[in-house]
Amino acid sequence: MIDINKAIEQIDWNRHPKGLYEPIAYTLASGGKRLRPTLALTAAEAIVNGGLINGDAIEQTVPAALALEIFHNFTLLHDDVMDKAEVRRGRPTVHVKWNEQTAILSGDQMLIEAYKQLSRVPAEKLPQVLAWFNEMATGICEGQQYDMEFEHMGHVTLDEYMKMIELKTSVLLAYAMKIGGYIAGADEKQQKALYKYGLHLGLAFQIQDDILDVYGDPKTFGKAIGGDICANKRTALLITAFENADPESKAELLEWLLINDRKEEKIAAVRSVYDRLGVRETCEAVMEEHTALALAQLDELPQNSATERLREIAEKLVTRKS
């Protein structure tokens, strides 16, 4: 199995001007789940091995896997500037540690570095992979734009929200699967299954994120509980609450949305409205539905140890704590 962390570490960022490359090295060294490259590589393995390892085909997927991880980290870097976020993975964000100009420019260079990795994809597969990668990258930007627009919208429907997270989160996982599989030789039916696995996994993943922000264990969650509530963020929970609320609960929620101090009290109050309306259970049901849809796609793939790992990734997601 390819060690993706090692592959990431092996990229040489000791280049000039240091002011451009150090923030890139800093961002990529800050860890994270490496979910996207893992999905791309595991998809490739699921397609080629059927129990046997075809080293070359997996090896050929590495540049695309790295491109996906670099791209993902680029989006985090620029999103943090746009959202004025000060902390990421327990460390100061780039625009805080350096400055905003550096964050913009190093982010731009990261996006270019993603395409540099892509240029190493086998030539006969490159046109298709590049086109898909561009489609994916466009989806992410569109999703981020919708997400920012939601902040200024009075009402967001659950459909609109799901469409937004599909773009902002899911298409990257979906294309990670599809691109990994395609490079390893997946046929069209398999490509479709890989894509849908990633898409539903992403939706389940984001809804679980929303749930953990309110109901997570502060010891394992890694960030403060209730951050979304304090920021009045449109999440699956808040939108579901509004869609299911009686007039009284609705008024109570609206009132709390206007209160920006008294954070502890606000978190407890909004959570108790969620509890009363059964919001957690409703969202968990949606999340489980998408997890089941992701798992169902695996039946279309060769059954082997890699497919088994894809099953585990989806199942772990439902029970994860952070």
**Does 249 interact with its own copies (rule: CB under 8 A)?**
no
Instruction: Give Cα 204 to chain centroid, integer Å.
Output: 11
- Report in angstroms how near the CB of residue 74 gets to its own copies at its nearest: 8
76 to 105: interface string for its own copies, x by CB under 8 A? --x--xx-----------------xx--xx
Report cis status (omega within 30 of 0) of the bond before 17.
Answer: yes
Site string for its own copies, 146-185 (x = CB under 8 A): x-xx------------------------------------
Give the separation between CA 215 and CA 314, rounded to whole angstroms: 20
Strand blocks (E) in the chain? 87-88, 91-92
Extract the tokens encoding 186: 């997946």
Q: Decide: 106 and 23 in contact? Cβ < 8 Å.
A: yes
Our CB check for its own copies shows the closer of 20 and 158 to be 20
User: In whole angstroms, what is the distance from residue 178 CA to residue 108 CA?
Assistant: 25
Give whichever of 111 and 158 is closer to its own copies, judged by the CB atom. 111
Q: Is 322 in the site for its own copies (CB under 8 A)?
A: no
Instruction: Print the binding letters for residues 292-321 with its own copies: x by CB under 8 A, - otherwise.
Output: ------------------------------
Nearest to 204 by CA among 271, 136, 278, 294: 294
Q: What is the Cα–Cα distance from 45 to 35, expressed in whole angstroms?
A: 15
Interface with its own copies, residue 243, by CB under 8 A: no
Question: Which amino acid belongs to residue 216?
Answer: G
Can you give the binding site for its own copies, defined by CB under 8 A? Answer: 16-17, 19-20, 78, 81-82, 100-101, 104-105, 107-109, 111-112, 115-116, 118-119, 123, 126-127, 130-131, 133-134, 137-138, 141-142, 144-146, 148-149
